[in-house]
Chain A
Amino acid sequence: MIVADKKPIEEIVQEIEDVKSLLIAGCNECVTVCEAGGKKEVGILASALRMYYLNKGKDVKVDEVTLERQCDHEYLEEIRDMVERYDAIVSIACGVGIQFVAEQYPKMRVYPGVDTCFMGATEKRGLWVERCQGCGQCVLAKTGTVCPITRCAKRIMNGPCGGSTKGMCEISQEIECAWQLIIDRLAALGRLDEYEKLFPIKDWSTDRAGGPRKVVREDLQQ
């Protein structure tokens, strides 16, 4: 899933000082799971904003809505009648959802209420970890199903670097060295000999380097 984290309220209000009415829009998908932008968080942010405006003596209407998905035109269309009643929307979906709201409603001011962080998973409640950077050409088959692009601080394809110490990455005692994980897993699979194969120079054109990406499936577009 896409993992996001709450933005400080001070940062949010900076951008919307002049508005008289505000819609806080959450999303039922990833950001609900990582407890940053679901229905519950919409309620919390809306209450905090109401409190903020009350203390400032400002009369600002703050309403709440949570969509099934914000990264989907169909669901965004459902709130069309509602949207027009507000000066601005604060979306607490991921960065994709936030932009899709703005694309759907070109005349509406839309602001982010979360910081979108990465693609990851829930290690345990309150701890989300990154696992994929969407490089567009998955190499997991060759790296013991551990992603060096995401989990090695230097994206080293033929690791580890000289800084790997006791299983930990040189940048922090709290971050596991991806290459230690790769080697351990190859060893567990009895495939350590694969370690000695040189990983060829990677084509990064499918990664961020290639510019904004698209997946086109003509068979599905008919």
Chain B
Amino acid sequence: MITKTPSKLEKVLAAGHLGVTSECGPPRGSDPEEIIKKANLIKNHVDAVNITDNQTSVTRMCSLAACIRLKMEGVDAVLQMVTRDRNRIALQSDILGAASFDIYNILCLSGDHQSFGDCKAGQNVHDLDSMQLIQTIKQMRDEGKFLGGDDIKRPPQMFIGAAANPFADPFEIRVPRLAKKIAAGVEFIQTQCIYNLDKFEKWMELVRDRGLHEQVYILAGVTPFKSAGMARYMKNRVPGMDVPDEVVKRIAGVPKEKQAEEGINICIESIQRLKEVEGVKGFHVMAIEWEEKVPEIVERAGLYPRPVVE
């Protein structure tokens, strides 16, 4: 596939390599050191780092500022942008702001409902939804036009991503929904954390049946469990997460002090198996508040060194 943007992630994927991305949550304060430290821990092991946008609706430093910090450290960022908090004026404006710092990747999301976060009494916006945000960025980039129709001087050059959750309900709509995102203009997908590999493989089969794997780069999402407690929490409390009982049993079956190691092992084994799935073009390694483990996972999964692209 040819590239449309200067994004390193896009180039890696277009060259046929397995892409690797990771994720950092900005701090709940204005000190940039934490995010810089996290980014430096992983920068040699990934092609780009997502910066979450007030994830789970908990107020944090803005994704855009944190992406700029990464850029200053020489790390490629994926600007996550949720439609919950900004209307179309603010979204387009932030896209231009990001583009002015040559941030080349963006991930379009609707965002968790604000009732999960620290501002339960707040309004939500949802002027656009995630599909419409994809369309908006595509129009801004490819046509050089604002939603209002006016020309943009120096349009943004962004590799456009979105999330997909193969495990959310209703299952029969999960592939049509991906097709819809592709029609809207999405170019890469980062999936929800995969623990139920059988179900994911089933989803990929349906994706391939429609040839969608040829039209979008799918990065399989993985998150290592730190403990059996975390596995249970993800299973029971996180909406849209599918953690099979065997996985919880496996990690709960080892002594507490070995659970973190077992969590990493499970993660690496998942990557190994997912590498064999036709249509998986890379991995999105989300080590939640455990960024220091990303290099180990990437190395042991055989995804290191990262390819150098021009």
Contact = CB atoms under 8 A, between A and B. Distances in A.
User: For chain B, which range describes its interface: under 10, 10 to 19, 20 to 34, or 35 or more residues?
Assistant: 35 or more
A167 interface: yes
Given A183-B173, A196-B180, A162 B129 contact: no
Given A163-B239, A171-B115, A204-B127, A154 B110 contact: yes
A198 interface: yes
Contacts of A155: 126, 129
Given A156-B126, A196-B179, A180 B239 contact: no
Interface in B119-143: 124, 126-132, 135-136
Interface residues of A, number: 28
B170 interface: yes
Given A196-B176, A196-B180, A163 B129 contact: no
Nearest to B127: A204
Given A163-B240, A170-B240, A201-B147, A183 B132 contact: no
A199 B126 CA distance: 14
Interface in B190-210: 192
B82 to A, nearest CB: 10
Contacts of A157: 129, 131-132
B84 A154 contact: yes
Contacts of B177: 160
If over half of A's interface residues share one DSSP class (helix, strand or loop), that class is named, otherwise mixed; here it is: loop
B10 to A, nearest CB: 23
A104 interface: no
A144 to B, nearest CB: 13
A52 interface: no
Interface stretch (B161-169, B224-232, B243-251): B161-169
A195 B173 contact: yes
Interface in B256-305: none
B37 interface: no
A133 interface: no
A162 B132 contact: no
Interface string A144-167: 000000000111111111111111
A122 to B, nearest CB: 26
Contact of A158 (B113, B131, B239): B131
Interface string B233-246: 00000011000000
B294 to A, nearest CB: 23
B203 to A, nearest CB: 13
B113 A171 contact: yes
Q: Which 9 A-B pairs have the closest CB atoms?
A: A162-B165, A170-B239, A163-B239, A158-B131, A155-B126, A156-B129, A162-B240, A162-B168, A171-B113
B184 interface: yes
Given A154-B110, A158-B131, A164-B168, 12 more contacts: A153-B115, A154-B124, A155-B129, A157-B129, A158-B130, A165-B169, A165-B240, A166-B169, A177-B169, A198-B183, A201-B128, A201-B147
B126 A160 contact: no
Contacts of A159: 129
A167 B147 CA distance: 34
Contacts of B126: 154-156
Contacts of B183: 196, 198
